[in-house]
């Protein structure tokens, strides 16, 4: 069994020293480098690189520069996906975003974890678990989402949160560790004035 196959089955695998995985990461990081060097107005070229890099994209999306990922092919974005500057996705496992997801600056999505045993860790072993973000989710600035987490539909994650456990649909959650503060209510529809 290859190291990549082990990772896909949720087993410890060697991410640091496996030639196949190193080459895949170098390919993805090369595309990220090219993407991040483009002038911001070169939207068509930016879109073409993201469509080459990611496993699944939609018709309408925008990922602000800089953007960094490990493999790219494990990332799926839904319709109207938007991420602000400086997003990092360590996608050893799937990172899936639904439709109408907004991600603020300086956010990270980390599917990798490492063994507690120092000898295994020093061998370069790691384990991965997927991250899933539902539809209509807003993730505030500086949020970190950890391996194995699912965030439900219509949820808001407050700025600076560290999301270590699943968050249900229709709530506002924040903190380190992130926890549910309250449900989103009908009153929230009139919180801000519209012209």
Q: What is the mean pLDDT of each run of 10 residues along the chain (195 residues)?
A: 94 93 97 98 97 96 98 98 98 98 98 94 94 98 98 98 98 98 90 77
Is residue 122 domain-resident?
yes
Is residue 189 domain-resident?
no
Look up the domain containing 36 and give its range. Answer: 3-183
Is residue 112 domain-resident?
yes
Ramachandran angles phi, psi of 7, nearest 5°: -65, -40
In the structure encoding, which two tokens stand for residue 13, read together? 């695998």
**What pLDDT does residue 40 have?**
96
The enclosing domain of 141 has a CATH number of 2.160.10.10
Ramachandran angles phi, psi of 117, nearest 5°: -70, 125
The answer to whether the pTM exceeds 0.85 is yes
Q: What is residue 170's three-state secondary structure?
A: coil
Is residue 156 domain-resident?
yes
b or e along 30-66 (b: 16 or more beta carbons within 10 Å of the residue's beta carbon)?
ebbeebeeeeeeeeeebbebbeebbeebeeebebeee
**What pLDDT does residue 1 have?**
94
Q: Are strands 156-157 and 138-139 parallel, antiparallel or unpaired?
A: parallel
As a whole number of angstroms, the distance between CA 173 and CA 183 comes to 9
**What pLDDT does residue 188 have?**
87
Is residue 162 domain-resident?
yes
As a whole number of angstroms, the distance between CA 142 and CA 87 comes to 9
**What pLDDT does residue 11 have?**
95
Catalytic residues: 114
Is residue 96 domain-resident?
yes
Is residue 176 domain-resident?
yes
The total number of structural domains that make up the chain: 1
Is residue 154 domain-resident?
yes
What does each C-alpha distance from 38 to 29, 157, 164 come to in angstroms? 14, 30, 34
**What pLDDT does residue 189 have?**
82
**What pLDDT does residue 192 have?**
82
């Amino acid at each position: 069994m290859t190291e990549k196959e082990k990772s896909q089955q949720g087993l410890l695998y060697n991410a640091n020293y496996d030639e196949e995985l190193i080459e895949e990461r170098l390919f993805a990081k090369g595309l990220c480098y090219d993407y991040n060097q483009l002038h911001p107005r070169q939207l068509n070229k930016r879109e073409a690189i993201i469509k080459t890099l990611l496993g699944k994209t939609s018709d309408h999306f925008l990922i602000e520069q800089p953007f960094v990922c490990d493999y790219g092919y494990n990332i799926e974005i839904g319709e109207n996906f938007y991420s602000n500057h400086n997003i990092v996705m360590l996608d050893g496992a799937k990172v899936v975003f639904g439709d109408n997801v907004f991600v603020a600056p300086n956010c990270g999505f980390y599917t990798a974890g490492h063994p507690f045993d120092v000898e295994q860790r020093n061998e370069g072993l790691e384990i991965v678990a997927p991250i899933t973000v539902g539809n209509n989710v807003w993730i505030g600035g500086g949020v970190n989402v950890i391996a194995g987490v699912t965030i439900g539909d219509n949820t808001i994650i407050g700025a600076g949160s560290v999301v270590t456990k699943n968050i249900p649909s229709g709530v506002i959650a924040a903190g380190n560790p992130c926890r549910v503060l309250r449900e989103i209510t009908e009153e929230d529809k009139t919180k801000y004035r519209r012209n």
